[in-house]
Structure 1
C-alpha cells in the first residue's frame, strides 16, 4: 500500500472519447435534453436509517445509483494509492470555540466495518463534519478496507473531502483531492460490454466492436463533481474548474442520448446537467468574473418549470454577485413557497436592512412546519447581533444549544474588545 498501482495510467487519451465541443454543453436550449416539468429524482435511495432506527452504514454503498455495481469478471482496480496515510492531513479543533469542541473518535480494535460505517453515518446526520472527516480517514487507512473495494473507498473518500469542505477546511480538502490525480485517465473507465466474437479477417466486425464499447466511469458522480472544484483550488488554476465542468457536462449529454438508457436514468442525467450549469456559474463567481456569471445565469433559463430549490440556488448566486433586483425576481409571483420565504430576509440582510430581516426571520421561526429551524435561528441571531440586541440572541437560538455555545464565545470576544484600552 506504499506504492501506486501499475495499472494507474495518467493522461491517456481514449479513442472513443469525442473531441470537446466549442459549444457550451451547460447552456440551456430547446433540445431533447431540456429539463422535465417535474424535476424530481426518479431514483429512490434507501433510507439512511434501518428498520430499528439505527444507523446501518448502507448509504455509503448507494452514493451514485448509476455507478456500475460490479466490475467485469477478471477485472480489478487497485486503489491502494488512495489509502496511504500521507494522503490525509492531521486535523485540529483548536480554532473551534470550546463549547463546540468534540473529541475525535478512534476506531475500536476488532470492530466490523459495518459498525464503523454506522458510526460515521451518525456523525454526518448530526452535522459533526470535522469529526466525520477524521473518522472517515481513519477507516480508509485501516485494515478494514480492501484496496479493490472501489465502491466503499470512493464513498469514504467523498465523505472525507465533503466533510472537510463543510467544516471550513476547503484548502485541506483541495490538497487531498490531488491524490485522485487525473479523473479523465483510462484507469477510471471500464467497458461493460463483453467482447464480440469478431474474427481476425473481418475488419468490419472489428470496426463495429470498437464503436460498441460501453465505457463507464467507476468514480461516483458526486465525487467527480466535487473533485473538479477542489482540484482547481489545489492546483491554483481557477480555469481548470470551468473546463472540468464542461468535460463532464459533455459526458452527461452523451448519457442522456444513449439508446440503452432508461427513462429514469435520462431524467437523473438531466438533473445532473442542470446542476452543472449552476456550479459553472458559481465557479465564475469564485473567479471574480461577475459579468460572465450574470450572463450565464440568464442563459440557464431552461424551457419547462424549474424546481424551487433550483430557483433558490439561482437567487443565492444573484445575491453573491450583488444583483438584488434579479434575485428578488427569480420566483416571480410564486412567493408563497418555503424557498421564496427564505429568500426575502436574505435580501434584507444583503441590503443592510437588519431590522427588517429580524422581523422576517422571526416570522419564519414561528412556522413549525419548516424543517430548517436551525438555519432560521442562526440567521436571526446574526441579525440581532448587528442590531445590538444581545439579550435576545440567546432566546432566539433555544433549543439550538450548539449555536448558543458559539454565541457565548462571540459575546466573550465582544467583551474583550469593548474593555480593551
Structure 2
C-alpha cells in the first residue's frame, strides 16, 4: 500500500474538499522612500510667472521662525538615504544643533585646481603669492585658484571641529564659488555632491516646523549655488534649475507669510526680496534654454514686486537686472518701460547707460554712439562706458577706433575683465593676420598689469584662461 501523500508545506487540505487554499497576494505598501512615478509631473516651460504676490496671512502661529537664511531640499525622496551620520536625539529641536559634518572633512573629496587652462605668464613664480598668505588676502587680491586650495587645506587640516557648522559651510561656499569663477564648475559640482546628499538626507528626517529650523543653518547663497551645481551637466539642466527655483520660491512665500503674521517686518522684507530675486533667476534660465516668449510673459507679470518692501537701491538693482534680460530677449519697448519705472532713482548714470544700450539693441547705432560719447566725456573714469562705446564703434565698422579704446583700457586705465579681453582679441583677428602674436603680447601685458594689484576692475580673478584671449 502506497504511503498517503502529505500536503505541501504552507497549505492545509480541507476535510471535505481537494481544493487547496491559495495564499492571498501581498498588498503593496509604500514606505517613506517609495515614490509614485505618476505623481511626478512632467515639467513644461512655465507659462504663468513665478507667483510673487503673497496669499492672505494665516492665523499667528506659536512656532517661532528663525530669521537666518535656510537651505534647499536638494534631492528627491528616491535619492535620499535613511542612514544617519550621527546619533539621533529624541528631540528634533535638539538634533538641529548636532549636525555632524566630519564626512566633508576628508581630503579624498577634494582635488587641486587644474592650471592647464591658464595662460603660462600668470603661473610664473614671480606672480605667485606667498605660501602663508591668509584666505582673506587671497580673496581680496582675486587669487581665486589659490583661495580654493587654501579653503581645502583649512577644511582638511584637522583643526576644525566637525560640529562647527557655520565655519565649515563658509569654507565650502568659498571653495565652490572660487572654482566656478575659475571656470571649474564641473569639479565644483563633483565636490558639492556629498554636501548636497548630506543636507537632503538630514532635512528629510524632520517634520515641517523643525525642518525649517534645521535649514536655517544653511546660508542662502550656498543654497542657490548648490542648486546650480546639482543640475549642471544634465540633459535638461535649465528645466531642472527652474523646478528647483520654484521649490525655493514656495518656501519663500511660506516664510514671508509667517513673518507678516508675526509682524516681523525685517524678516518679511528679507523673504519678499529673495522671492523677487528668484523670479528673475527663473527668467534668466528661460532665456538660456531659448524660451524667449515664455521669459517675456514671465517678466511681464513680475512688475514691481519689490517696490513695497525694498529700499530704493534694491529696487534699482532689480530694475537694472530686468532691463538687461529684456534687452537680451530683444523686447526694447518693455525695457524702456522698465527704465521709466526707475526714473526717480538717485543714480542716473546706470539708467543713462541702459538707455544708450536700448538704442544699441534697436540698431540705432548713431544715437547709441552719441549717448555713450557724451557719457564718456562726463564720466571719463568709468571703464564700462568706454567699453560699450568701443563695441558701438566696432558694430559701425570703425575697427581702428574701437581697438584704440580697448587697448587704452588695458594699458592706461589698467582695467581687466573677461569681456574686454575677449573683444580686444576679436579686434586683433579683424585687423591683422598676425592675431596670435598680438594676443600673446596682450597676455604678457595683462599679467604685468594684474600682478601690481592696482587694477580696480579685475573681474574673474588674476589667473586668466587661454579661452579669454581666444587662444584655446
TM-score scaled by structure 2?
0.60
Tell me which residue corresponds to 1:219: 218
Is residue 249–residue 273 contact of structure 1 (8 Å, CA) maintained in 2?
Answer: yes
Q: 1:236 to 1:396 in 2, by over 3 A?
A: same
Give the deviation of 1:318 after TM superposition: 1.3
Render the CA deviation track for 1:126-150: whole Å, top value 9, x for unaligned.
4444443343334333334333221
Offset at residue 260 of structure 1 (A): 5.0
Question: How far is 1:417 from its partner?
Answer: 5.6
Is the aligned partner of 1:156 residue 2:174? no
1:382–1:127 CA distance, 2 compared to 1 (3 A)? farther
| Helix, strand or coil at the partner of 2:98 | coil
CA contact (8 A) 1:190 1:215 kept: no
Aligned partner of 1:328 among 312, 336, 339: 336
d(CA) in 1 for partners of 2:318, 2:114: 35
Question: For residue 50 of structure 2, what is the aligned residue in structure 1?
Answer: 26
Larger radius of gyration: 2
Say yes or no: does 1:410 pair with 2:389: no
Give the structure 2 partner of residue 400 of structure 1: 414
How do 1:314-393 and structure 2 match up within 5 A?
314-332=322-340, 334-335=342-343, 337-351=348-362, 357-368=368-379, 373-383=382-392, 387-388=398-399, 389=401, 390-393=403-406
- Measured in 2, the distance between the counterparts of 1:98 and 1:361 equals 36
For residues 66-112 of structure 1, give each alpha carbon's deviation from its aligned partner in whole angstroms, at most 9, with x where no partner exists.
Answer: 469xx94894222233334444454344544566667565753xxxx
Cα gap change, 1:392 to 1:213, in 2 (>3 Å): closer
Aligned residue runs from structure 1 range 237-252, under 5 A: 237-238=236-237, 239-252=239-252
Contact 2:375 2:385 in 1 (8 A): yes
Contact in 2 for aligned 1:362/1:380 (Cα 8 Å): yes
Is the Cα–Cα contact under 8 Å of residues 133 and 164 in structure 1 kept in the other structure?
yes
Q: Does the C-alpha gap of structure 1 residues 144 and 411 become closer, same or farther in structure 2, counting only changes over 3 Å?
A: farther
- Determine the structure 2 residue equivalent to 1:263: 265
- Residues 1:313 and 2:321 aligned together: yes
Displacement of 1:322 in angstroms is: 2.5
Q: CA deviation at 1:274?
A: 0.7
Contact in 2 for aligned 1:178/1:234 (Cα 8 Å):
no
Q: Which residue of 2 aligns with 1:119?
A: 137
1:286 aligns with 2:310: no
> Which residue of structure 2 aligns with residue 136 of structure 1?
151
1:78-89 correspondence runs (5 A):
78-89=100-111
Partner of 1:300: 302
Q: How far, CA to CA, are the matches of 1:119 and 1:361 in structure 2?
A: 36
Specify whether residues 363 and 142 from structure 1 end up closer, same or farther in structure 2 by C-alpha distance, changes over 3 A only: farther
After superposition, residues 21-100 of structure 1 pair within 5 angstroms as 26-29=50-53, 31=55, 65-66=68-69, 72=94, 75-97=97-119
Name the TM-score, length of structure 1 as normaliser: 0.66
Pairs aligned (count): 343
8 Å Cα contact 2:383-2:415 kept in structure 1: no
* Cα distance, 1:356–1:119 mapped onto 2, change above 3 Å: same
2:183 is the counterpart of 1:165: no
Shifted more, 146-155 versus 167-176: the winner is: 167-176
Match of 2:230 in 1: 231
Deviation at 1:243, TM superposition (A): 1.4
Q: 1:30 Cα deviation (Å)?
A: 6.6
**Native 8 Å contact 1:104 1:135 kept in 2:** no
Deviation for aligned residue 1:286: 2.0
Residue 273 of structure 1: aligned partner: 275
Q: Tell me if the contact between 2:292 and 2:329 (Cα under 8 Å) persists in the aligned partners.
A: yes
Distance 1:304 1:261, change over 3 A: closer
Structure 1 distance, partners of 2:68, 2:287, is 30
